[in-house]
Homo-oligomer: A and B are copies of this chain.
Amino acid sequence: MKKVGVAILGLGVVGGGTYQILTEHREYYQKTQDVDIVVESVLELNRERALALGVPEEKVASNIAEVISNPDVNIVVEVIGGIGCARDFVLAALNAGKTVVTSNKELVCKYSHELERAAKRHNAGLYFEASCVGGVPVIRTLLDGVQANHITGMMGIINGTTNYILTKMSNEGASYEEVLKEAQKLGYAEANPSADVEGFDAAYKLSILSSLAFHTKVPFIKVFREGITGIATEDIAHGKELGYALKLLAIGKQSEQGIEVRVHPTFIRKEHPLAAVNDSFNAVYLTGDAVDDVMLYGRGAGALPTGSAIVSDIIYAATHSENKYSTFKNNATAEKDVKFVNDFSSAYYLRLTVADKAGVLSKISAIFGRYGISIVEMIQKANENGQATLILVTHETKELSVRNAVSKINALDEIAKVESILRVVA
């Protein structure tokens, strides 16, 4: 039986989960995968934590050199996160010919070209299923499950923290600030939540997934990004009334116009399978030219689900010696001949406060007409102080047209103000 030695860099939540899965399933993998996977080394500054998890004292390394020079270590698991020492450690491991399995989305998003180069030079493998959507095998699916397809589109709920917050806001009518505070208390959101709530985390993952789906490097800076910090509870309620759920969607498209990648809060019809993905659950909805629509759903984070992705990568690395790298030219930047769509189209939801008097609606309509924006649905609600709230949903139109129309409306002598603009998946 093949024996594989593993080192784990970092015994935080995911590292601890990975250690637990590997030790508890050792016999199971011997029996079902014909491979003996042994944790040979862990690197964890907090030795107490390592010992509490049951790591034998002699396996707790005190520095990266000790891990890398250990001849019994074949695969190095990096679950430190960030692009500081994680990047150095991963490069050191690859340069020593060790295969790397990582959950680090920022590292893979920004430096996969560098890592892959090092891996190839030393015939090491590089696997990162755990970097996207926790335990849900979306990368494996793209590489080995639907690879017969031109992937034309993907839509994902790929950040658990923001989905938890939006679900709570929707169910309880609570404000963003209240729910964020609660999420922080429960450990669902970080003390500094900006990576999640500003959409960075989702954008890293979208960059990785769309690069694999579209077979070309889709750099992070090409991703249009808007977070959920400005979301008003009343817009979620209005949307619900119109039959929509609000989700932070990561959207990737490939067409003759080019590649389009964006992360932003989005209204989606409540009949769509993604609309039912609630709380901290994640899902990715893929569209291929042959397979049509496929959705993968599951837990996007957590010690054991993310550990499942890491250990599945370890087993894959141990039992498949081919197919270790990207199937596209993995550079820091996009290839020269690849077009990106900047002036994207979408349907829009707009909320306006307007003066409740004759002639206002016709002025607004005229502005929409001038920019070629047509309205699908409109609700007017009486308000206080002689004002009314106007909710509009548009047909698909250019983002730029909407922005122009909105600035013209806001310039209308204080008789109308656009309070919210949200994109809608038609």
Contact = CB atoms under 8 A, between A and B. Distances in A.
Given A32-B215, A327-B34, A146 B308 contact: yes
Nearest to A295: B297
Given A141-B140, A296-B294, A312 B273 contact: no
Contacts of A97: none
A345 interface: no
Nearest to A25: B148
A141 B149 contact: no
A4 interface: no
Contact of A147 (B145, B148, B290, B315): B315
Contacts of A293: 298-299
A67 B296 CA distance: 38
Given A21-B290, A293-B298, A137 B145 contact: yes
Contact of A140 (B25, B145, B150, B297): B145
Interface in A291-331: 291-299, 302, 304-305, 307-312, 314-316, 319-323, 327-328
Secondary structure type dominating chain A contacts: mixed
Residue of A31, A129, A140, A328 with highest tally of chain B CB at under 10 A: A140
A292 B296 contact: no
Contact of A312 (B17, B147, B319, B321): B147
A175 interface: no
A6 to B, nearest CB: 12
Given A273-B297, A291-B135, A299-B293, A145 B141 contact: yes
Nearest to A311: B148
Contacts of A338: none
A136 B146 CA distance: 8
B146 A141 contact: no
A89 B327 CA distance: 35
A308 B327 contact: no
9 contacts: A28-B150, A32-B215, A137-B145, A145-B145, A145-B312, A147-B312, A147-B315, A148-B315, A293-B299
Closest 6 CB pairs of A and B: A137-B145, A148-B311, A135-B291, A291-B308, A294-B298, A290-B308
